[in-house]
Structures are given as C-alpha cells and as structure tokens.
Amino acid sequence: MSKYFLDLLTLKTEMNYRGYSEATKKSYTQIVGNFLEVTDKEIIDITKEDVVRYLDENMKLLKKNSRAVHLNALEFFFEEVLGLDITVSIKNYKREFLEKTFMTLEQFNILSNSVTEKERLIYEIIKETGFKIKDIVNLKVEDIVYGDKSYIGIHKVSKELSRDIQKYCDKEMIDGKIFNVCEYSIRRWNKKATEKYLGAEYQINDIRHALALELYVKRGDEEGAVRYLGLKTVEALRQYYNRTGNKYYKK
C-alpha cells in the first residue's frame, strides 16, 4: 500500500462529493499519486519548486494542454483538498482553453421533441431536476409526487411533467423502476439521438451543464446552478465553465 493512501483517499472523497466525472477522478488520482511517489516527500515538506520541477522533468513529451491537466490536478489537490498554496501563481503551464460549445435551449427542445416518449421523459426529467444517469436508472414510481405541487424525490417539478410520467407508467403498467434501463443503454441512445438530430455528440453530462448555463447561470442564478448540478460551491461552478472556455463572470 502506498504511504500516500490516505491522501489519495481524501482526494477521491472530495471529487466524489463534488460530482466529478469518473474520467476526471481517475486522471487526477493517477497524476497526484505519481507526483507524490516521484517527489517522495512528506506533504508538509513539498514546495512550489517541487511542482515546477515535476512538470519540467516529467511532462516533456506531453502537449501544453496535457501538461496543464497535470497542473490542474495538483492545484485541486493542494489548494482545494489540503488548503495549501503550493501551486498558487504557477503560470507556465496554464491551459490554453479551446472553447466548448454547449447545446442551446432551442437545440435541447428539438432533441426532446424528436425522440421516443420514453427518451423524451428522461430528457425532461434531466431538464427539471439535473439528474445524472445513475439517478434516472434508479428512479421508481414511488419517487413521484403528483398534483399541483409535484415532486421527483426532493426536486419540485412541473405538474405537466409529473402528469406525463403518470400517464406513461399507467400505459406501460409500471409499478417499480420507471424506465428499466441501464446506464450503458442511456449513453448509447443519447449518443445516437444527439448525432442524428443535432449533428454532434453530446453526453448526458454535457446536456446537464448546458441546461444549467441556459436556465440558471445566464439568468444570474449561480446558486440555482450549483443546486441543479449537485456541486458544493459557486467556485466549483465557475471553475468548470472557465475550464471549458466559457468564463461568464468577472473577478
């Protein structure tokens, strides 16, 4: 077992809490673990110079943006997880952002209105709740509260959506899990649907962030976007959009 096991476990726990993707969690854990092993110091003894030396000596074969990913991982670990300023003001490896193009609300509506009833309900649930794929997969009939004040779990939703879900469940005679799908199935048909109707592939997480941008951020409601995406802080929200080249705020 690595002597940095507890440090890496703390890193993983924080990323889980903030809802980071599996790919990001795996990447950051590998990068931080490798840095700690190569540096071979107690955390308290690591300096800014150690980080710069690591990037200089070990990242020579990587493109600039790839080197920046390594710095992002180390910044997150030291500043966000440990509260240390070791990586503050390291400028040489800052990412040259390629702006990510997000789906517009009009495009989302086209997508939602072009697919099957089952798929449309999934998209509309995501729109109103911010649910991730795993939440959709585990959604049960008993999680829906119908009426003028309608809820899916703790999320207030429109009565139109709750009515449509009720009609779908009645028609399909569903009394357990509403959609009876696995995560892989949702990813697969979403990939096909976005490519077919929008001409580009958007992952479910892309759609969630696009909707958060349209429905909350652009309307000045950062806190609403934080709740919608299940993030911990406004800073985490800003960091995400900044890293996709969509900086919407002024410091």
Q: Give me the mean pLDDT over the 119-145 stretch.
A: 95
Q: Which two tokens stand for residue 146?
A: 């119908």
Confidence of residue 59 (pLDDT cuts 50, 70, 90): low
Please give the pLDDT value at position 138. 94
pTM of the predicted structure, to 2 decimals: 0.63
3 state DSSP class of 220: coil
How many other CB atoms sit within 10 Å of the CB of residue 38? 13
Confidence of residue 142 (pLDDT cuts 50, 70, 90): very high
- Given a cut of 90, whether residue 61 has pLDDT beyond it is no
The tens digit of pLDDT for each residue in 202-245 reads 999 999 999 999 999 999 999 999 999 999 889 889 888 887 87
Say which residues have a Cβ less than 8 Å from residue 137's Cβ, sequence separation at least 6.
177, 179, 181, 182, 183, 186
Between residues 4 and 139, which one has the greater pLDDT?
Answer: 139
CA–CA dist 214, 208 (Å, integer): 10
CA–CA dist 241, 224 (Å, integer): 15
The tens digit of pLDDT for each residue in 156-169 reads 999 999 999 999 99
Please give the pLDDT value at position 93. 58
